[in-house]
Amino acid sequence: THKTVTHAAAVALRLVGETSRASPRQHASSSSSSTSCLSLNCLPPYADNGRLVRPQPAIFECNDQCSCRGRCSQSVMSQGLAESLEVFETEGRGWGVRAKDNIGPGQFIAEYVGELRSAADVEEAVDKGGDSNLDSYLFDLDFLDDYVKKGGATAENFDRTRFVLDARVSGGVARFINHSCAPNAFPQIVFTSLQDPRRHRVALFASQFIAKGREITYDYGYRPGACIGKTMFCLCGEQSCRGQLL
């Protein structure tokens, strides 16, 4: 019942160490002693203005281990919160987040941050019923699971410990962003200096123009029936509302 980014993947998965053809847009120089951020991406993820060009299974941002040392246009989420956001109390849906300024399509909104915990520990806590609201603040880090399913690796290649981000106690503004069946934002897997496929970062980007004052939402990726004995109905109110999340 945790939030997931699996549904946002649009092209074939790649991991650090895989080769890819060089991009014609050379924002970063090549180096024999370090890797260019562009060589790790299927296509340059960001335009020169910092906007995401298209969703990708994973983005490898420029960082201090890259040959261009984080000085090119392929470093966006690493720069921190860029947009002005406001947490507010919605009518019947708890807390929400809205834009304090216009946000253009492809613009970085916020990173989903929280305490890094093993999925096994979290599931045990949920099963014990210690906190009925725990599920609401969990985000699965499931890039490696999806990569293995698509044949990119075998279980023996990696430590298969699964992790989740728990934003219940320690988290940022993104934990208050609500679900919608007609969202205006989406989650995107991002790797920076730590390129462990089990512990990626999660960024939220605008999928369309978001006007000042409008609530920001994304699809949590829940599946009805995924959690036996638990039902959750959607309150987004959109014409395309699926009605039931779990």
Q: Which two tokens stand for residue 216?
A: 């920001």
Number of neighbouring beta carbons within 10 Å of residue 89: 9
Question: Rounded to two decimals, what is the model's pTM?
Answer: 0.81
Q: What pLDDT is stored for residue 28 in this prediction?
A: 34
Helix (H) or strand (E) holding 189: strand 185-191
Considering only CA atoms, which of 6, 11, 77, 73 is closest in space to residue 46?
A: 73
What residue type is assigned to position 116 of the chain? L
Residue range 48-58, pLDDT digits in tens: 888 999 888 88
E strands, 36-94, are 59-60, 85-89
**DSSP-based three-state secondary structure for 192:** coil
135: phi then psi, degrees, rounded to nearest 5: -55, -30
Q: Which two tokens stand for residue 94?
A: 């708890």
Q: What pLDDT is stored for residue 234 in this prediction?
A: 94
Q: What pLDDT is stored for residue 6 in this prediction?
A: 53
Q: What pLDDT is stored for residue 34 in this prediction?
A: 53
Q: What pLDDT is stored for residue 151 in this prediction?
A: 58
Q: What pLDDT is stored for residue 25 in this prediction?
A: 32
51: phi then psi, degrees, rounded to nearest 5: -85, 145
Taking a C-beta distance cutoff of 8 angstroms, is the pair 122, 114 a contact?
no
Residues of the chain with pLDDT under 50: 7-33
**Cα dihedral 41→43→44→47 (10° resolution):** -150
Q: What pLDDT is stored for residue 124 in this prediction?
A: 82
Q: What pLDDT is stored for residue 32 in this prediction?
A: 36
Q: What pLDDT is stored for residue 26 in this prediction?
A: 33
The full length of the chain comes to 246
Q: What pLDDT is stored for residue 130 in this prediction?
A: 59
